[in-house]
Amino acid sequence: MIVTLEPNASQAAVDAVISLASRTPGVTPKVYRYEGQSHAITEVHLLGRTDTVSQEVMAGLAEVRAVFRVSTKYRIIGRHAAAQGTNGFTYNGVRFDDRELQLIAGLCAVDTLEHVEQMVQALAAAGLVTTRMGVYKPRTSPYDFQGLGAACLPWLFEACGRHGMKVVTMEVTDARHVEEIQAALELSGKPTGVMLQIGTRNAQNFELLKQVGQQHEFPVLFKRGMGITLEESLNACEYVASEGNPNIVFCLRGVKSHLGDPHRNLVDFAHVPVVRRQTRLPVCIDPSHSVGRMDLAPDGLTDVMHVTGQGLIAGATAVLVDFHPHPKAALCDGPQALTLDALPGFVSYCRRVRACYEAVSSY
Ligand code: PEP
Ligand code: MN
């Protein structure tokens, strides 16, 4: 059962719902808060044997807006009757939802301070405030570059903050990484914010999903598992949300199949509307890890640009994309990185496709 309270409901009203629910043995109330642009919505989810909890009595409590019995499998992230009107979140002043376009461009892997400086300078000049900066890199071979790790966090955060970056997306593969990020941000005076990325290889690392779900400081960008069904990936997001953190962006990044050749993965952006229909999560696309190479089509656009357009025209509102000042010198995924001179064109292309989507849809 989900009890939705009136916008900006008082703590006393929340407490009254919890107290009434707690009278029924076997029912556990869990509180979720969604920060919208103009107000906050509180929901109390009643877990367990709720069949004897009276919907009418609950609905009669002060400041209760609606009470729903929920049978859907994605009770928190899902799009269902109990979940209308709450979509997305604001983090460090940046809105992630189904309307505002966020371009999360940056280095697949942080290598040198100089490259970080060049990257964020270019992003700032293009008017962007969100970036990707891989620090903990899960690599197929143990002999490949594994990322600079915690050592680079102080100068990375300082550089990002100095150039006005508000959200830095970086993958974590262990709860220890979250602690290192927290400590480094704290020490450097929080010049920027961080979105924790769950990579495709950890899409079903349930302990990691629970850990990022239990912390409420950072939002989570979850990348679809490359070899599991969409349903399994959405269930994984539900793990994060059910642990208490509903601030999740769902990212499509292609699935592993030789049928995708010559692309690195089979591009799965046809699933953008599916994820939007089944859930309330903002949907991101990652054209870089989907395509994995920098080929030019006869029309003068790279395949990376083409699939970006395909994802945006399908309704995605975020793009996670690899750039590098010198792709040949990159220590990770250089062949799929766009160069900095391509950034302004990429940004205007994305905005134009998004505008086209807004014109043709009833978004
Ligand atoms: C990445 O974005 O750097 C990455 C490793 O992506 P994925 O987990 O989708 O392979
Ligand atoms: Mn990569």
pLDDT at 40 (0 to 100): 84
User: What pTM, to 2 d.p., does this model score?
Assistant: 0.91
Which element (helix H / strand E) includes 178?
A: helix 175-187
Total domains in the chain come to 2
Domain assignment present for 50: yes
| % of the chain at pLDDT higher than 90 | 88
- Distance of alpha carbon 72 from alpha carbon 75, whole angstroms: 6
Examine the domain organization and report whether 224 and 293 are in the same domain.
Answer: yes
Which of 131, 148, 171, 202 is the best mutation target for the ligand 1 pocket, counting ligand atoms within 8 Å of the beta carbon and taking the most?
171
Supply the residue whose CA is at minimum distance from atom 9 of ligand 1.
Answer: 200
Range of weakest confidence among 12-16, 48-52, 320-324: 48-52
- Domain of 26 in residue numbering reads as 2-70
Residue 39 is part of a domain; what is its CATH number?
A: 3.30.70.1140
Domain assignment present for 201: yes
Residue 290 is part of a domain; what is its CATH number?
A: 3.20.20.70
pLDDT tens-digit series, residues 341-351? 999 999 999 99
Examine the domain organization and report whether 100 and 57 are in the same domain.
Answer: no
Give residue ranges with CB within 6 A of ligand 1.
Answer: 108, 134, 171, 199-201, 223, 253, 289
Confidence check: pLDDT of 85 > 70? no
Confidence check: pLDDT of 71 > 80? no
Examine the domain organization and report whether 64 and 155 are in the same domain.
Answer: no
Domain assignment present for 238: yes
Examine the domain organization and report whether 42 and 159 are in the same domain.
Answer: no
Residue 232's alpha-carbon distances to 76, 203, 258, in angstroms, are 15, 9, 21
Domain assignment present for 174: yes
pLDDT at 86 (0 to 100): 59
Examine the domain organization and report whether 213 and 324 are in the same domain.
Answer: yes
Residues bordering ligand 2, an ion, CB closer than 5 Å: 108, 333
The ligand whose atoms approach the alpha carbon of 221 most closely is 1
Examine the domain organization and report whether 313 and 229 are in the same domain.
Answer: yes
Supply the residue whose CA is at minimum distance from atom 8 of ligand 1.
Answer: 199
Show the tokens assigned to 16.
Answer: 């009254």
Give the amino acid at 288.
S
Confidence check: pLDDT of 84 > 70? no
